[in-house]
Amino acid sequence: MSDTYTDLLLECLVEALQTFAFVAAEPPQGPVPAPAAADLYTLRFQGADSGELQLAAPRAFGCLMAANMLGLEPADAEAAERAQDVIKELCNIITGLWLSRRATVYVPEMGLPSASALPDWDRFAALPGSFTILAEGFPLAARIEETP
Amino acid sequence: MNIVVNVSDARVSKDPEDTLVTYSLGSCIAVVAYDPISRCGGLLHYQLPTSTLDASRAQANPCMFADTGMKHLLQELQNTGANKTRLKVKLAGGAEMFDDKGVFSIGKRNHTAIRKILWQHGLLLSSEQVGGSEPRTLYLHLADGSTIIKSRGETIPL
Amino acid sequence: MSHRILIVDDSATTRGLIKRALQLSGLEVAEFYEAGHGKEALEQLALHPVDLVLADLHMPVMNGVELTHAILSNPVTAHIPVAIISAEPCTNRLLELRRAGVKGYVRKPCTPEMLRNLVAPLLETTHV
């Protein structure tokens, strides 16, 4: 994945967080410790080129995002219920933005997001093309896996 | 009468002869809020997104930050007779001045912070003019709540 | 005049955000109905009269394109305005839906104000 496409992914992630979820983002100021419990979210796209967005996020971050969007407190039960749902929606939005902003003639079709437990955050964060940001203190790591 | 709102400051008025004005909005954000029934209006000019960055400074000057500043502005407006549910709210500023942080710029973070606070308060924006790289001057006319921006020699209603 | 809006999105949080944005917009909405995909939406439409459908596109079971065509091709529901709120990246796909009769669209990520600005004019043109 080219640096340009990775930079574009960063731009789309931050814009999605700011616009849809009222979440501010910052670059990390040094090594970021792996969160205690995290999930890996994925969303495939297929067409003239194919691949998959991969986003790693702590479970607690989903509570914060859901609370922001619904006008609740992060400790509210409804925010916890919506934690995975909202990060899947974030993946949907990031992928749509990223695909729309690449200069390609044929825009791939998007699939639906899915989530699974992430056992090794450090390994994911070290994959080629992966970057980490801090979203209101929570680390998020993202990359695009291209499919040949 | 022109009432100047400085950086990290807020002013409120219900005198129809008054105009609230704030200058040199760069990465800072100005919030104007006007109740068209009571004709109370206010202007907050803040610099930073959240008071958790410096709690002691927020204590000394709440208007430096979006969260404490907005709380102060809403309180002052209510003390002057405004009804929060009737407020027309507008924003200006949040430019990227000499900031090479791009997507992480302080202007963008200031903008995100105030949008979250307004959403939490149940207030939607009537209009906004944010971003870019030029400073702005903002005027709120208390006679009718009209808001004007001056930037790059142009005058634009907000 | 009070309106009834059906919000169709597989994200419950997004449905909640859309609902809150429209409640805060000062629009006269008496009732919000919700559905997680197109099939649920058609079931809701069979139960309740609705003045506006706001639909996502990428959903399981029945997506928003299929739902839109089902609504607009049924004489019982063809009069209901449909607007799209989606992360769909391809502008041509959105324009095709406009040509098919969709009344407007907003791309995610969208702000509450963008949702208000999409819905307000559509409610002005509806009547029960």
CA distances A27 to A9, A134, B57, B104, C13, Å, are: 14, 6, 24, 7, 27
pLDDT at residue A3, as a whole number: 78
User: Residues of A with CB below 8 A from B103's CB?
Assistant: 10-11, 14-15, 25
User: Residues of A with CB below 8 A from C88's CB?
Assistant: 96, 110
Residue type present at position A37: A
Q: What is the chain C residue with the closest CA to A18?
A: C109
- Give C54-111 pLDDT, tens digit per residue: 999 999 999 999 999 999 999 999 999 999 999 999 999 999 999 999 999 999 999 9
Q: Is the pLDDT of residue A131 over 90?
A: yes
**Domains held by chain A: number:** 1
Under 8 Å CB-to-CB from C44, ≥6 apart: which residues? C6, C33, C34, C35, C50
pLDDT at residue C128, as a whole number: 44
Exposure letters A104-125 (e unless 16+ CB within 10 A, then b): eeebbbbbebebeebeebeebb
Q: Count of residues for chain A? A: 148
CB contact under 8 A, C24 and B124: yes
* CATH number, domain with residue A103: 3.40.1550.10
pLDDT at residue C23, as a whole number: 96
Which domains, from first to last, does chain C contain? 3-124 (3.40.50.2300)
pLDDT at residue B53, as a whole number: 83
- What proportion of chain A, given as a percentage, has pLDDT over 70? 99
Q: Does residue A23 sit within a domain?
A: yes
- Looking at per-residue pLDDT, the higher value among C28 and C115 belongs to C115
The closest of C29, C32, C19, C2 to C115, measured between CA atoms, is C19
Q: What is the chain B residue with the closest CA to C115?
A: B124
Q: What class does CATH assign to B2-157?
A: alpha beta
pLDDT at residue A1, as a whole number: 66
CB contact under 8 A, B122 and C112: no
- How wide is the angle at C-alpha B116 spanned by C-alphas B150 and B155, nearest 5°? 10
Q: Is the pLDDT of residue B114 over 50?
A: yes
Least confident window among A24-38, B6-20, B99-113? B99-113
- Report the alpha-carbon distance of residue B27 to residue B133 in Å, rounded: 9
CB contact under 8 A, C116 and B119: no
CB contact under 8 A, A82 and C17: no
- What proportion of chain B, given as a percentage, has pLDDT over 90? 87
Active-site option among B5, B10, B21, B28:
B28
Other chains touching A, judged by 3 or more CB pairs under 8 Å: B, C
Q: Does residue A87 sit within a domain?
A: yes
Annotation says B28 is catalytic: yes
Tokens 């939005």 found at: A93
Question: Mutate which of A10, A18, A19, A68 to test chain B, going by most B C-beta atoms within 10 A?
Answer: A18
- For chain C positions 98-117, those within 8 Å of chain B (CB to CB) are 111-113, 116
- What proportion of chain C, given as a percentage, has pLDDT over 70? 98
**pLDDT-based confidence at residue B99 (cuts at 50, 70, 90):** low
Q: What are phi and psi of C52, to 5 degrees?
A: -160, 140
User: Residues of C with CB below 8 A from B122's CB?
Assistant: 24
C120 shares contact with chain B (CB less than 8 Å): no
CB contact under 8 A, B119 and C112: yes
A61 contacts A69 by C-beta, under 8 angstroms: no
pTM: 0.95
Q: Does residue A13 sit within a domain?
A: yes
pLDDT at residue B72, as a whole number: 97
Q: Does residue A33 sit within a domain?
A: no
CA distances A33 to A65, A132, B9, Å, are: 21, 11, 38
What average pLDDT does the structure give for chain A?
A: 93
* In chain B, domain spans: 2-157
| Domain hosting residue A108, numbered range | 3-27+38-147
- Give B25-68 pLDDT, tens digit per residue: 999 999 999 999 999 999 999 999 999 988 999 999 999 999 99
